[in-house]
Chain A
Amino acid sequence: MPPVRRPLCSATVTAVSVMAVAALTSPARAETAQHCVADIDTGAQACFATFEEAIAEAEEETGRTLEQQRRSLDGGPASLLAARADVIIGTYFEHENYGGATFTLYGDGLCRGGDGTDFWFTFPPEWRNTISAAQPWATCALWLHSGPDGTGDRDGPYRENTPYVGDHMNDRTVSTTLG
């Protein structure tokens, strides 16, 4: 088993100050903020009630003009992210078939695809026991756990887009590991 690359990251130790986004967002309740993103290393989390808000925030964050971003969504220049910086490593969905609220994790590199754990994350309280679908990104294989910090019952690995995580872990996930 390769050495673990990440410090244990729980959402209870969120240091949200890294992202100016946090100042604008309301509490990450799934009912009011449909789309959350979190840095798996720092726990920094930002949630958006609507896609438009996310875009407006992205404009502020990136310093790009809104028009440039509109073009990117309309099939113009694509959204970009450097692998050397953060990449998306997984997206989790409230409902099956990728429906409802979403929670997307990003980290500082691709998964190595071995048996080891490259990333792990404990979901914030409002996201526990709600997940029904999942998508591994960045060559990750993804596990779901019923306890915090990769403990308890688990199911996986999910290596493909998974529209329903199965009865064993449906609405029971508290933490996730990726490798």
Chain B
Amino acid sequence: MRFLATGAAAGLAAALALSPAPASADHGGAPTVRELLERCGKGTDVCEFHPSGSPEFFQNTSEPVGSPVYNCTDHEQVSMVEWSKTTGESNSVNLSMTATFGVVFKQSFAISYGHEWSSSHTQTQRTQVTAQPGEVARVYYGPRMQRVHGTYELHFPDRQWGHYVWYAPFTAEGPADGQGSTVTQSTRPMTDEERAVYC
């Protein structure tokens, strides 16, 4: 049935992989996902990533950007706040995605979804803020993000940890270009301490 649906398939492969997995006598201990992915492309016959479901888009928490504006005058003040914020990628194994498994992920993502994975996005803006007398104004930025789940499949020419084929669950997050992010501003009364320091 052809219509878009968000990832209902997450984890299937992992479940399957678990179910028929007898711990054989020659099994040499279980590696971590991290250990497996570090081996991707280094002595593997196959290292592939199979995504489950469409990318999930979500709004990251808004964080303050640029400098706060303190209105120490006795009239309303309109100011421009210049700011720049770079949002990067992260993943479930806390390894740099410049490693081979990350390159594999990005190639697979492009083939799987028809557009490039974005590792980094920098948003630069001048935002107008309005502060009443005695207030401090701040700008907040919340980038739009995407999350992809899937399973790595690794084949080794010789047994590794007792097996030729391994499956490893994996999740990556990164900025979603062109999906729209949120920029907000808020004001609050200055504290006595701030007034003493900035006014």
Residues of A with Cβ closer than 8 Å to B?
21, 34-35, 37, 46, 48, 51, 54-55, 57-58, 61-62, 64, 69, 72-73, 75-88, 91, 93-102, 104, 106, 110, 130, 132, 135, 137-139, 160-161, 163-164, 170-171
Contacts and interface: CB of A to CB of B under 8 A. Distances in A.
Question: Which of B15, B20, B50, B114: most chain A Cβ within 10 A?
Answer: B15
13 contacts: A34-B9, A54-B11, A77-B33, A78-B36, A79-B167, A80-B167, A81-B163, A83-B163, A85-B22, A97-B5, A102-B12, A104-B16, A137-B153
A61 B166 contact: no
B1 A78 contact: no
Contact of B18 (A34, A72, A75, A130): A72
Interface of B: 1-24, 30-34, 36, 46, 48, 50-54, 92-93, 108, 111-114, 151, 153, 155, 161-169
A60 to B, nearest CB: 9
Contacts of A82: 21-22, 24, 162-165
Contact of B3 (A72, A87, A95, A102): A95
Nearest to B17: A79
Chain B contact residues, majority secondary structure: mixed
A78 B9 contact: no
B13 to A, nearest CB: 6
B8 A80 contact: no
B9 A93 contact: yes
A102 B93 CA distance: 26
Nearest to B9: A102
A58 B54 contact: no
B30 A77 contact: yes
Nearest to A100: B5
A118 to B, nearest CB: 15
Given A21-B19, A138-B155, 17 more contacts: A34-B9, A62-B22, A62-B23, A64-B18, A72-B169, A75-B33, A77-B33, A78-B33, A81-B20, A88-B153, A94-B1, A95-B3, A97-B53, A97-B54, A137-B48, A163-B114, A171-B1
